[in-house]
Amino acid sequence: MQGMSERQYAAHVGLSRGAIQKAKAAGRLVLHEDGSIDAAASDRLRAEATDPSKTRKAPKETKLKPVPEAAVSAVGDTLREQGMAAPVTGGGTTFLQAKTAHEVLKAQERRIRLAKLKGELVDRARAETLMFRLARDERDAWVTWPARVAALMASELTVALGDACEVEAAQMQKVLEAHVRAQLDSLAEVRPGLG
């Protein structure tokens, strides 16, 4: 074979074999005596006969956009969390490192999503709201407690100490309220962290 086969020439010019067969049938290719394609002569003929507006343009070299430093540091952080080698700051991240970090993050995201589906994980805002509501309900219960028990405690103390030492319910309520409020004030200083 003196020249190229249809498949070889199709690969050479980046077209399908069917397109080459059509060009051959239309006489737009130069053939050797054995029927093989003369690549150099066919390329010249195709260049002269082809309408430039109907050709596929060779893809322009794409200019790579710079990667933000935050993204590079996020890749490094993810790799370090997993005990892997992270790129030195300013040293650049390899594609393999970025791909590894991406896969690690996808796995972490899937694990979190699965934990949510199983009910092992709850929404932080919802947890904070429920915790606040529970603390408020408990505080309200303690604030109203002295009014409910003051009369009972006063009567029990009067019986225990004898009628000579009568304890008034109103006085007992005031003392209890003062002590309960002091305790609630000290508890209010405690700030639970959900971090």
pLDDT computed for residue 194 by the predictor: 61
Compute the radius of gyration of the chain from its Cα atoms: 42
Within a 13 Å sphere around the CA of 71, how many CA atoms are in the beta-carbon half?
12
pLDDT (tens digit per residue) in 85-135: 766 655 566 777 777 777 888 888 898 888 888 888 888 888 889 988 998
Q: Which two tokens stand for residue 130?
A: 């429920």
pLDDT given at position 46: 83
* pLDDT, position 14: 87
Tens-level pLDDT at each residue, the chain (195 residues): 788 999 999 999 888 999 999 989 988 899 998 989 999 999 988 888 776 666 666 555 556 666 666 666 777 777 778 777 766 655 566 777 777 777 888 888 898 888 888 888 888 888 889 988 998 898 888 888 888 888 888 888 888 887 777 878 888 888 888 888 888 888 777 776 665
What is the structure's pLDDT at 195? 59
Rounded CA separation 184/138 (Å): 10
> What are the sequence ranges of the domains in the chain?
6-51, 69-118, 124-188
Tokens of 161: 């100490």
With vertex at residue 36, the alpha carbon angle to CA 32 and CA 41, rounded to the nearest 5 degrees, is 60
* Helical packing angle, 95-118 and 69-81, nearest 10°: 70
